[in-house]
Amino acid sequence: MPRAVALLSGALVICGSAATVAQDEPDASPWERVRQRYEQLRTELSKSRRPYGVWLRDANELWVYDNRTELGIGMHDTSDAQLDLLPPLGIRLVRKTLYWNRMENTTQHGQYDAAYLAEWDSLAKRAEKRGIDLLVVVHGNAPGTGWANREASYERFARFMADMATRYPTIRLWELWNEMDSGFTDLFGAGVEPAVPMLERGRHYAEMLKVAYRAIKQANPDAWVLTGGMTDWQEFPRGIYEGGGRDAFDFMNVHTYGVPVVWSLVTRGAELRQVMAEFGDAERPLWNTEFGIDAGALVAAWGLPHERGEDDGPAFDRLQLEQWKECIEAGFETGLYAKLLPYQLLAGNEGQNDRLKTQAYAEEYLPAGHTIDDYGFGIVRSDGKTPRPTYEWLAAKRWNDPAAEAPHVTVDVEVSPAPEGDPVDYGFERRADGAMVIRDVRLDRLFPTRIRLE
């Protein structure tokens, strides 16, 4: 979910990213240094992009994945009427929240709410029928779980995840917790007094991963596990690695809010990759499961549109579209993220609501019949069906079509330096320069191809 952004003179300061450029241009403003850093990283990433990614998971397994970025989207409402809005966008990857505390709403493990269970039974079937791949983010402390009994809570969560992975074998993507580094749960130290350092929170999260990952894989070996989307892209992920969590998740995952959104999207993702590289993980698939902007964030950054001579409603639509355009264009250009899932199809306004969510403001500054929730994070209006300009642009561009038209590609994969083991069931050659070429590797556009090494 969105978080407050740090502002300096109305502009986002991306912590930890300005220093590199500042050494070269000490007279540049903080805003200018961050802009330069963003542009530098975007250029470097775009030049170094390859059509596939290669990651040595361990001495016995190599992953190769299609590096054509795919656009998905977050959805709270997954009714048929909302799912009908996806085909015009060419989107098949949907992020949906399963609340542990709603499903297991007593202190007793395994006592599941019948109505909520029926909702998920229905969604799993409807998604499969429509060809939708669900990315399910699971969070919300079940009754009786928390920081005070965190180790027992991790074990109980693992049992819960095993039950869910068993019950829903067609759901193969599981994201464990949401922004757990900074909120939504105390299980890893957020909100605890005395304050728990971010690095230590990451270590606690690793303890949970180690038990939950094993439970999910035993329940469904075909499942894939994402870390929860992090708002901290430095100390928390470093804590995951230092806590021994490297082998207890499949895909790294980050959230990148800020203004301009594209600066955060590129800079934070690139700097997270630097942390991953410290632990031999530079090429592991990286996802971004939340970015976006609402009217409140736009006002916090640039003020009310009518104060600079614009009509508020059209200005909010224009600025949202500009931010989304820049992010998606940068994501597909750089290949920084394997998957991009903006926040979201339908969602209201969250920031500055004390100023914006009033009848008086709507009547004076918004088109007739509109409220500020029509200019929130969603790309459809608050009625759930009227498209905003961003939706119309996505429908026209259909970013996923090239990959959808060729969902499988076969490539010769260069691995440098070559692993010690030989790939099983593939032709290959070891070159004099220390690289290996693996022949005719078939890639799926959603899941990595695993190559066994002996």
**What is the DSSP track for 386-444?**
SBPHHHHHHHHH-TTHHHHHS-EEEEEEEESSPPSSPBTTS-EEE-TTS-EEEEEEEEE
**What does the alpha-carbon distance between residue 257 and residue 394 come to, in Å, rounded to a whole number?**
20
CB 1 within 8 A of CB 184: yes
Model-level pTM?
Answer: 0.94
Mean pLDDT by 10 residues, the chain (454 residues): 34 31 63 94 95 96 96 98 98 98 97 98 98 98 98 98 98 98 98 97 98 98 98 98 98 96 97 97 97 98 97 98 98 97 98 97 98 98 98 98 95 96 98 98 96 98
pLDDT at 1: 56
**What does the alpha-carbon distance between residue 209 and residue 164 come to, in Å, rounded to a whole number?**
16
Query: Could you tell me the strand order of the sheet in which 428-430 lies?
Result: 408-415, 436-444, 428-430
What SS3 class is residue 336? coil
- Do the domain assignments include residue 443? no
pLDDT at 20: 38
pLDDT at 132: 98
pLDDT at 27: 73
pLDDT at 26: 64
- What letters, b where the CB count within 10 A reaches 16 and e where it falls short, cover 109-127? beebeeeeeeebeebbeeb
**What does the alpha-carbon distance between residue 445 and residue 345 come to, in Å, rounded to a whole number?**
23
Tell me the CB-side half-sphere exposure of residue 433, using CA atoms within 13 A. Answer: 6
pLDDT at 307: 97
Query: Could you tell me the strand order of the sheet in which 70-71 lies?
Result: 70-71, 339-340, 286-290, 252-255
- Do the domain assignments include residue 211? yes
Q: Which domain holds residue 101?
A: 7-407
pLDDT at 192: 97
- Do the domain assignments include residue 72? yes
pLDDT at 6: 30
- Do the domain assignments include residue 424? no
Strands (E), 212-328: 224-229, 252-255, 286-290
pLDDT at 28: 79
Sequence-ordered list of residues with C-beta below 8 angstroms from that of 161, at least 6 positions apart, any chain:
138, 174, 176, 212, 215, 216, 219
What SS3 class is residue 93? strand
CB 134 within 8 A of CB 173: yes
As to burial, measured by CB atoms within 10 angstroms (0-12 exposed, 13-18 middle, 19+ buried), residue 158 is buried
SS3 content of the chain, % helix, strand, coil (to 5): 40, 20, 40
CB 154 within 8 A of CB 208: yes
The neighbouring-strand residues paired with 410 are 442
pLDDT at 19: 33
Name the token pair of 348.
Answer: 């209201």
- Do the domain assignments include residue 420? no
The strand pair at 436-444 and 408-415 is best described as: antiparallel
Domain count, the chain: 1
Sequence-ordered list of residues with C-beta below 8 angstroms from that of 189, at least 6 positions apart, any chain:
147, 196, 200, 201, 204
Strands (E), 19-132: 52-58, 61-66, 70-71, 73-74, 93-99
pLDDT at 149: 98
Centre a 10 Å sphere on the Cβ of residue 304 and count the other Cβ atoms it contains.
17
- Do the domain assignments include residue 90? yes
What contacts 24+ positions apart, CB below 8 Å, involve 388-395?
388/317, 388/320, 388/321, 389/317, 389/318, 389/320, 389/321, 390/317, 390/320, 390/321, 390/324, 391/85, 391/89, 393/321, 393/324, 393/325, 394/71, 394/89, 394/324, 395/88, 395/89
- Do the domain assignments include residue 441? no
pLDDT at 171: 98
Q: What CATH code is carried by the domain that includes residue 213?
A: 3.20.20.80
**What does the alpha-carbon distance between residue 348 and residue 373 come to, in Å, rounded to a whole number?**
4
- Do the domain assignments include residue 107? yes
